[in-house]
Structure 1
Amino acid sequence: MKKWKYLTMTAVMGSALMLGACGSDSAQNGNNAETKTPASSEQDTADKKLQGAVAGDGSSTVAPIIEAVVEEYAGTQPDVKVSVGVSGTGGGFEKFIAGETDFSNASRHVKDEEKAKLEQAGIAYTELPLAYDGISVVVNPENDWAKDLTVDQLKKIWIEDGTPKKWSDIDPSWPDEKIVYYSPGTDSGTYDYFDEVVLDGADLASSATLSEDDNMLVQGIAGDKNAIGFFGYAYYLENKDKLNIVKVNGIEPTNDTIETGEYAPLSRPLFVYVKNSAMKDNEAAYDFIKFTLEHGGDMANAVGYVSLPEEKYTEALKTLEGLK
């Protein structure tokens, strides 16, 4: 597999991945998902050449995994065109609700209001787990003071209180310099998750630069000594020569601490949501998602995320088979 290139436009052997901007541990089916008897055929679709088109959208956190999967899938099914936009988890669900996509990548669970809209649109769906991530808090390499932050300190840094904040407001021994903020955009599942577990629903610092493009966040933080930001673990690993990682409550995000949940509260699962009717009626879409679940763990590890235990992929494949 080729090394992941951040948010590139990829067209490989007939499959296209079109990347634009960014995005509880158990997999769940939508309440309106139909239960089907598992398909009895054991035919090996890997040997069957398919034609068709598959469309997805959603989280930029999940995007590196999907890009890797698309590149690998192109070698097995060169006549299937897979196009995946990256408008963030929320933006991806909007397109899913509108019936524009066969699957939607997400760095959080579907929200209640999104569930209601899906039901109104008559779209039955299923949530499938894909990998684990740890939201990584990062600072500029010249920042030699904010090496380990508590959740309370993160709250104090990030919650809007109507006054400009300086690093010295967090710790008097730190520089008397204004904090510069970089955050995923509000359509991002990463933003939603950080808002839930760190901000407790409070407003994020109003001076923050928000972007669905995590590459822009990386560039901003790398260019300002007083900057701080957060995004998916894979983006830190890809740019760790430009950034410093911050421990949270004394724990640094690593494959082990993310998988075990020790890196709390910023460890989280990643998902792909599939439209049940597409899995039944679009053979190419079913085959691509099946390939994703079969190879997603290896792809997740390759691009810097953490694969699920093998039994979770096995369970997800059985769930997918039941939709066919």
Structure 2
Amino acid sequence: MKRTTAILLAALLSALLISGCSQSGEGEKASISGEVKISGSSTVYPVTMAIAEEFSRLYPDVTVSVQSTGTGGGFKNFFIPGLVDINDASRKIKQSELEAAKENGIEPVEFLIGYDALTVIVNRENDWIDCLSFEELKKIWGPEATGKVTRWSDVNTSWPDEEMHLYGPTSSSGTFDFFTEHVIGEAGAHRQDYHGTEEDNTIIAAVERDRYAMGYLGLAYYLENKDKVKAIKIKNPETGVCVEPSIETGQSGEYPLARPLFIYVSKESLKKPAVREFVKFYLENLDSGIVEEVGYVPVSKEVKEQNLKKLNEILKELGVE
């Protein structure tokens, strides 16, 4: 992702404000070292990477490692076992995950960091679809479609009698969870005969080269590749209007597949200076333009302030303000 000079200056100003803008404060921050380990959502990954890039300019002695594992995969394999400090998430933590974390001595702290518009994409040569309803999406992606709805004409007889090739996230993804719950209407319910991957760029590449392909992923990946694939409008079930996915329609609430994005921080990890400063930096810069530049909807000023208030209260509780 390209970072702009304005964003870097905003990030630098934010860091200076946090440190009190004093020379001694700058010296203290320059001396911070250590590692921040992050796993989780492929959707949130671009935001966290962008934040990490700016953070690393100001704190070169801190190593920030970010891996895209899927929301559920990150919780299960890395965050709950205590192998990382932060888990990116494109859905709220499940009760079962929360209980497993607490049983392992991990207390997750939730921060809302933005909003996404889950995007359905097709090949740019697809000239038979511009808008889809939830009913049509369910007919294509629902579990009953497995082995039965295999051609475009199986969905609509006016569509080509050609084999349909489907690409999407795996069941360990928060995007998968959101899609199955909000589109299909049942958490985890999804057709089995599709190409599942945690690499969103793989979905982009597959749809780009295949006229009869379809996929779904986060808005940022579409916006970065809008010259390669075509986004499908989704019919808002309340208004009946076909709405294009965008930052604006996600912010207004018109787009029916808008969803919240989170980071979950291990409370114990906040005792580490590097993690503490990274989380402060992350939350301070949610309105600096980074979230929008990546391709997501930023949180409001009120949410930003609530996040920082929560963080400060926890730091006070831990005795590491």
Class of the TM-score when normalised by the shorter of the 2 chains: 0.7 to 0.9
Counterpart CA distance in 1 for 2:149 and 2:57 is 53
Deviates more, 1:169-178 or 1:134-143: 169-178
1:188 touches 1:212 (CA, 8 Å); kept in 2? Answer: yes
Match of 1:272 in 2: 263
Shift in Å, 1:2: 3.0
SS of structure 2 residue aligned to 1:236? helix
Match of 2:319 in 1: none
Match of 1:44 in 2: 20
Counterpart CA distance in 1 for 2:162 and 2:190 is 19
Aligned partner letter, 1:160? P
Identity %: 40
1:164 touches 1:178 (CA, 8 Å); kept in 2? Answer: no
1:65 touches 1:296 (CA, 8 Å); kept in 2? Answer: no
Give the one of 203, 214, 224 matched to 2:200: 214
**1:291-302 equivalences in 2 (<5 Å):** 291-297=281-287, 298-302=289-293
Deviates more, 1:227-236 or 1:155-164: 155-164
Counterpart CA distance in 2 for 1:160 and 1:178 is 18
**1:29-65 residue CA offsets vs partner (Å, 9 max, x unmatched):** xxxxxxxxxxxxx853872221111111111101111
Counterpart CA distance in 2 for 1:64 and 1:44 is 29
Counterpart CA distance in 1 for 2:220 and 2:2 is 15
Deviates more, 1:211-220 or 1:172-181: 172-181
Unaligned runs of 5+ in 2: 5-17, 236-241, 316-321
**1:117-266 equivalences in 2 (<5 Å):** 117-161=100-144, 162-201=147-186, 203-249=189-235, 250-264=242-256, 266=257
After superposition, the CA RMSD in angstroms is: 1.7
Aligned partner letter, 2:259? R
Q: How many residues align?
A: 285
Unaligned runs of 5+ in 1: 5-41
Aligned partner letter, 1:127? E
Match of 2:70 in 1: 88
Structure with the higher helix share, 1 or 2: 2
**1:175-213 residue CA offsets vs partner (Å, 9 max, x unmatched):** 111211001111110011001111223642222100000
Please identify runs of 4+ aligned residues in structure 1 that moved more than 6 A. Answer: none
- Residue 44 to residue 148, structure 1, CA distance change in 2 (3 Å): same
TM-score, structure 2 as length reference: 0.85
2:286 touches 2:299 (CA, 8 Å); kept in 1? Answer: no
Counterpart CA distance in 2 for 1:296 and 1:209 is 34
